[in-house]
Amino acid sequence: MLKQLNATLDIAKKQNVVVILTGKNDVFSAGIDLNILKKGIVDALYMISGGFKLAARLPAFPTPVIIACNGHAMAIGLTVPKAGIEICYQLLTLVNFTKAVLLAEYYTPNNAIESGFLDKIVPYEKVLNEAKKLALAYSIFYSKTSKLSILSFAVPSS
């Protein structure tokens, strides 16, 4: 999946379009894929390093990346990667940074807004539509047209 996602990001970068990332069903990120961990150390390291590289790539992406968080957001089960720490440092107050990174505090949607993790809460069925509206508004600044280009990739069934 990481290979497909990165290829899609390469296309988005080349076309200079706003990116929307969302999850499948009611999960944005389920964290580490235990089935890949069971395959062995090589596959596990590839997945973990690929995830960390993606986490570092997104904040530096040349056009806006909208996270349409449609559910559970993170269950990494490991030490927070450096890219994750940096993202939290840039988004959160020092108090919330400490709670999130050092104390692994659980955030509900409402306190995620208060802390700076989320900007807005919308009903589940409206998440993608709201993200598209935001992407269209941002795309005016990042392309010569206000047309929204939608790139997608299919996640293979396991």
CATH number, domain containing residue 18:
3.90.226.10
d(CA 140, CA 138): 5
Whole-model pTM over 0.75: no
153: in domain: no
157: in domain: no
d(CA 91, CA 136): 23
Q: What's the domain count of the chain? A: 1
- What is the mean pLDDT for each group of 10 consecutive residues in the chain (158 residues)? 87 87 75 78 85 82 85 64 79 89 82 85 88 84 57 48
| pLDDT for 10 | 92
25: in domain: yes
108: in domain: yes
7: in domain: yes
- Token pair belonging to 39: 């395959």
Please answer whether residues 30 and 75 qualify as being in contact, where contact means their C-beta atoms are separated by less than 8 angstroms.
yes
Q: How far is CA 36 from CA 39, 121, 129, 134, in A?
A: 5, 32, 32, 34
The whole domain housing 13 covers 2-140
| pLDDT for 156 | 45
80: in domain: yes
118: in domain: yes
d(CA 55, CA 40): 23
21: in domain: yes
| pLDDT for 77 | 56
